[in-house]
C-alpha cells in the first residue's frame, strides 16, 4: 500500500500573510490575489506545485478572515504595509506572482524593495494585467452603475458557479471587488527606476481586460529581461481545468531551473 504524504495548506501567519511552511523548500512563491480575491485563491497551489516551492499568499483587508475591515483606499500606505509584512519571508530566494490587480500590487512592492536596496524577487510573474501605460488608457469601470459594474465583473468570470448564482453571496462580494477596482483605476502609477528582476507576463489569449497588444509595455519596466506566456482562456485562464496544470508546470520549471 502506498502512503500519501499530505502537505499542510495555507495557514494564517499575520494579518497580511497566509503561508504553507516548507522548511526545506528551495524557493518561495509569494502570491497576490485578484480584485476582491483572498489568499485562499491559492490554496490548491500548495499541493499542485512541487515540494521544493513554498507558497505564501497576501491577504488584504475586507475579505475572508478580514471581512470586517475596510478595504484599502490608498495604494501608497497599502504597499508599505504589505512590504513590511513580507520582510520576514524575504530571507531566501523568492518570486512574486500577481493576478490582475494583484499584479499591480506585486509590481509596486517590488519597486519599493528596489528603491530601498532591499532583497529583490528573482522574478515577477504578472498575470492578466496590461502594462501601466496601456492600463491608463483602458475604460474605467468602477464608476459604472451598480448593475453595469456587476455585469462587467460577471463577464470576466472568476466566481464559482454556485457563488455566482447566489444573490446574497454576490451582494457581499461585489463591494470588495468594486473597492479594488476603484483603488487601482484611480491610482497614478509612479514609474521609478527600472527594477532589476525579470518580468514574465502571463495572459489568456481571449482576455478582454488584458488584450495581447497591451502587455508588451511591461518590458519597459525592467532591466533584467522580459518574456510572456500565453494560455487558452480569458481573464481567469489560470483556474481553468487543464490550463491550470500548464501554469503549474511552467512555474515549477522556471523557479527550479538550475
CA dist 128 and 41 (Å) reads 15
Residue whose C-alpha cell is 509569494:
30
DSSP element (H, E) containing 146: helix 146-156
Catalytic pick from 14, 47, 95, 100?
A: 100
3-state secondary structure (DSSP) of residue 253: helix
CA 159 vs. chain centroid, Å, equals 16
Annotated active-site residue 95? The verdict is no
User: Please, which residues bridge with residue 199 across strands?
Assistant: 124, 226
Nearest residue to 100 via CA among 153, 56, 53: 153
Contact 123, 200 (CB under 8 A): yes
Give start and end residues of each alpha helix (H) in 18-64.
Answer: 43-48
Annotated catalytic residues are 100
Amino acid at each position: 500500500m502506498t502512503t500519501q504524504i499530505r502537505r499542510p495548506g495555507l495557514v494564517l501567519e499575520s494579518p497580511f500573510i497566509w503561508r504553507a511552511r516548507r522548511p526545506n523548500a528551495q524557493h518561495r512563491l509569494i502570491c497576490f490575489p485578484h480584485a476582491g480575491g483572498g489568499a485562499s485563491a491559492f490554496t490548491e497551489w500548495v499541493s499542485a506545485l512541487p515540494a521544493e516551492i513554498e507558497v505564501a499568499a497576501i491577504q488584504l483587508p475586507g475579505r475572508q478572515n478580514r471581512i470586517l475591515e475596510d478595504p484599502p483606499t490608498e495604494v501608497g500606505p497599502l504597499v508599505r504595509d504589505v512590504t513590511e509584512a513580507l520582510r520576514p519571508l524575504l530571507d531566501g530566494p523568492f518570486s512574486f506572482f500577481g493576478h490582475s490587480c494583484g499584479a499591480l500590487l506585486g509590481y509596486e512592492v517590488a519597486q519599493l524593495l528596489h528603491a530601498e536596496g532591499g532583497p529583490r524577487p528573482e522574478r515577477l510573474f504578472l498575470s492578466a494585467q496590461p502594462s501601466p501605460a496601456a492600463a491608463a488608457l483602458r475604460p474605467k469601470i468602477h464608476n459604472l452603475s451598480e448593475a453595469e459594474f456587476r455585469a462587467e465583473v460577471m463577464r470576466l468570470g472568476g466566481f464559482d458557479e454556485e457563488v455566482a448564482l447566489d444573490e446574497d453571496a454576490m451582494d457581499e462580494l461585489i463591494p470588495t471587488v468594486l473597492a479594488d477596482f476603484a483603488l487601482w483605476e484611480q491610482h497614478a502609477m509612479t514609474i521609478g527606476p527600472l527594477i532589476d528582476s525579470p518580468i514574465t507576463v502571463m495572459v489568456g489569449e481571449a482576455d478582454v481586460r488584458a488584450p495581447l497588444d497591451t502587455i508588451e509595455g511591461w518590458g519597459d519596466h525592467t532591466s533584467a529581461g522580459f518574456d510572456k506566456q500565453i494560455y487558452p482562456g480569458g481573464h481567469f485562464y489560470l483556474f481553468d481545468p487543464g490550463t491550470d496544470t500548464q501554469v503549474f508546470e511552467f512555474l515549477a520549471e522556471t523557479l527550479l531551473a538550475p
